């Protein structure tokens, strides 16, 4: 493919799937997206692959669980920051939970909140099968309510991936409960493009837009946005 790199615009370099970032790929070798996915997964091996997990009959892992590409970033952050306490909002079948637990040090722990009893039971089964249950506490019920019953503090890593409508509720609960160098990861921060609309067309998109406006408008926090999967935002204190 002939591609004139001298004419590329800034917005044409955001994603690895755009022409500027893939113009040397030989399309006779197959589908670029599939090849890129397999390359990334192959170079960033997870502790547990998705085929080791019991799954839900209602939702596929591809639909609900974190992409292995995004999960590799989370695992890197855990390995790099060595958190004592990780909090996850939204467990599903525990794909992210188990892979992060496997990266924790001997004193590390994950507390994960799951609204739906069906998914919590599957996650519990998976934690036991993968021998990480000693690192994981699964809290059942709506996190908006169950968080009120906890006195959490010094959270080193917070992964927000539960009800999108309630993202800002979760963040406000934890913003004063983070450790000094605590990091927040907001998943699905583009929410299928809805956050880019002048008026969001879904309650979930509106919830994500609310938290994005809040963190980006705060002088207390520094934010970076990564165009991985459905968008990932990393937040830490600015000083």
- Comparing 25-29, 37-41, 217-221, 226-230, the range with the smallest average pLDDT is 25-29
pLDDT in tens, 77-118: 999 999 999 999 999 999 999 999 999 999 999 999 999 999
**Domain limits at 127?**
50-237
pLDDT at 1 over 70: no
- Comparing 28-37, 196-205, 207-216, the range with the smallest average pLDDT is 28-37
CA–CA gap between residue 115 and residue 140 (Å, rounded): 6
pLDDT at 183 over 80: yes
Q: Is residue 17 part of a domain?
A: no
Q: Is residue 22 part of a domain?
A: no
Q: Is residue 3 part of a domain?
A: no
Q: Is residue 231 part of a domain?
A: yes
pLDDT at 2 over 90: no
Q: Is 172 helix (H, G, I), strand (E, B) or coil?
A: helix
CA–CA gap between residue 195 and residue 140 (Å, rounded): 29
Q: Is residue 143 part of a domain?
A: yes
pTM: predicted TM-score of the whole model, two decimal places: 0.94
- pLDDT grade, residue 13 (50/70/90)? very high
Q: Is residue 24 part of a domain?
A: no
pLDDT at 220 over 80: yes
Residue-level pLDDT at 201: 98
8 Å CB contact between 214 and 186: no
- Residue 194 contacts by C-beta under 8 Å, 6 or more apart in sequence? 200, 201, 202, 204, 205, 206, 208, 209
8 Å CB contact between 97 and 24: no
- pLDDT grade, residue 27 (50/70/90)? confident
Residue-level pLDDT at 128: 98
Query: What is the largest distance, in Å, between two alpha-carbon atoms of the chain?
Result: 60
Q: Which three-class secondary structure string do you get for 83-151?
A: CCEEEEECCCCCHHHHHHHCCCCCCCEEEEEECCHHHHHHHHHHHHHCCCHHHEEEEECCHHHHHHHCC
Residue-level pLDDT at 207: 98
CATH number, domain of 96, equals: 3.40.50.150
Give the rounded percent of residues in the chain with a pLDDT score beyond 90: 96
pLDDT in tens, 153-164: 999 999 999 999
Q: What is the mean pLDDT of residues 27-43?
A: 92
Q: Is residue 63 part of a domain?
A: yes
Q: What is the mean pLDDT of residues 111-136?
A: 98
Residue with tokens 């892979």: 99
What is the sign of the dihedral through the CA atoms of 48, 54, 56 and 59? positive
Residue-level pLDDT at 188: 97
> How many domains does the chain contain in total?
1
Q: Is residue 89 part of a domain?
A: yes
Q: Is 181 helix (H, G, I), strand (E, B) or coil?
A: strand
pLDDT in tens, 163-177: 999 999 999 999 999
Q: What is the mean pLDDT of residues 189-208?
A: 98
């Amino acid at each position: 493919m002939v591609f004139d790199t001298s004419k590329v615009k800034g917005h044409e370099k955001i994603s690895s799937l755009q022409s500027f970032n893939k113009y040397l790929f030989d399309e006779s070798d197959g589908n670029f997206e599939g090849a890129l996915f397999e390359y990334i997964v192959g170079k960033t091996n997870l502790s547990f692959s998705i085929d080791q997990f019991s799954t839900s009959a209602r939702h596929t892992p591809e639909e609900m669980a974190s992409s292995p590409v995004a999960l590799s970033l989370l695992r890197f952050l855990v390995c790099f920051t060595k958190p004592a306490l990780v909090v996850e909002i939204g467990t599903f079948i525990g794909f992210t939970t188990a892979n992060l637990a496997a990266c924790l040090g001997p004193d590390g722990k994950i507390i994960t909140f799951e609204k739906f009893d069906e998914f919590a039971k599957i996650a519990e089964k998976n934690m036991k099968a993968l021998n990480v249950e000693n690192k994981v506490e699964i809290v059942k019920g709506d996190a908006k309510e169950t968080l009120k019953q906890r006195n959490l503090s010094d959270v080193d890593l917070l992964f927000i991936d539960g009800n999108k409508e309630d993202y800002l509720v979760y963040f406000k609960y934890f913003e004063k409960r983070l450790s000094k160098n605590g990091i927040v990861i907001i998943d699905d921060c583009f929410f299928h493009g809805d956050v880019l609309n002048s008026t969001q067309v879904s309650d979930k998109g509106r919830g994500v837009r609310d938290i994005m406006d809040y963190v980006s408008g705060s002088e207390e926090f520094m934010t970076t946005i990564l165009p991985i999967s459905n968008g990932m935002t990393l937040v830490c204190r600015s000083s």
